[in-house]
Amino acid sequence: MPKLQLHPENIEDPQVLIDLCPFGAMQMGENGLEINAACKMCRLCVRKGPKGAVEYIEDEKKPEIDKSEWKGIAVYVDHVDGKIHPVTFELLGKAREMADKIHQPVQAVFIGSHIQQEAKELLHYGADQVFVYDKPELARFAIEPYTNVFEDHILERVRGSYPEKQAFFDPGWCDDRRTPAGAACRCPYAYGTDGRLHDPGNG
């Protein structure tokens, strides 16, 4: 947040600033003149006080986010052993409404084990694509592997780094035997609007 910085070398008589402040925010402390919590940032001391005595310091400008790099609305698929919770269908419906207004795709992120058959059902509830992470080690929620899934989805899939029919990058766990040795593994599957399950390695 912005702040006022005192420059004691430019303050000959502190009382001038104390009398100038309409909020009583200038006071003498152990180390000289201080600005207390009563300051309303009116900057009267900057404009009317001794030259160079008080400096107004703006906030550091934060880098702007280029929203054009971000694509789609992602919905996490809540389920128990592959049985999809009804709230997921509701969220997909809402996501569909939002996506139609901003002309973006709806993506469902389905994480678990032995869930490929259930994934197709999501296409009937508004998802344009269903990204399926189907691995035994994902059968139960665990912070680190699930966080890796979301990170990959956001950084690689949402920002449009991969072709449309390609699932997102999974550097952490994939030991898919179809992946050529030494190649980056794109794990595991993606359902497109055509309802087909695409092997990321073969399209």
Residue 13 burial (CB count, 10 A) = 10
Q: What are phi and psi of 109, to 5 degrees?
A: -110, 110
- Please list the alpha-helical segments (H only) found in the chain: 14-20, 44-48, 86-102, 116-119, 143-152
Residue 93 burial (CB count, 10 A) = 13
Whole-prediction pTM: 0.50
pLDDT in tens, 110-156: 999 988 888 888 888 888 888 888 888 888 888 888 888 888 777 76
Rounded Cα distance, 82 and 34, in Å: 63
Rounded Cα distance, 119 and 103, in Å: 23
Task: Please list the pLDDT of the chain residue by residue as tens digits (203 residues).
Answer: 789 999 999 999 999 999 999 999 999 998 899 999 999 999 999 999 999 999 999 877 777 767 666 677 888 999 988 899 999 999 999 989 988 988 888 888 899 998 888 888 888 888 888 888 888 888 888 888 888 888 877 776 555 444 332 233 232 333 332 222 222 233 444 544 444 444 443 44
Q: What are phi and psi of 76, to 5 degrees?
A: -75, 130
pLDDT in tens, 186-196: 344 454 444 44
What is the dihedral angle through the alpha carbons of 176, 177, 183, 189, rounded to the nearest 10 degrees?
-40
Label the pairing between strands 79-80 and 83-84.
antiparallel
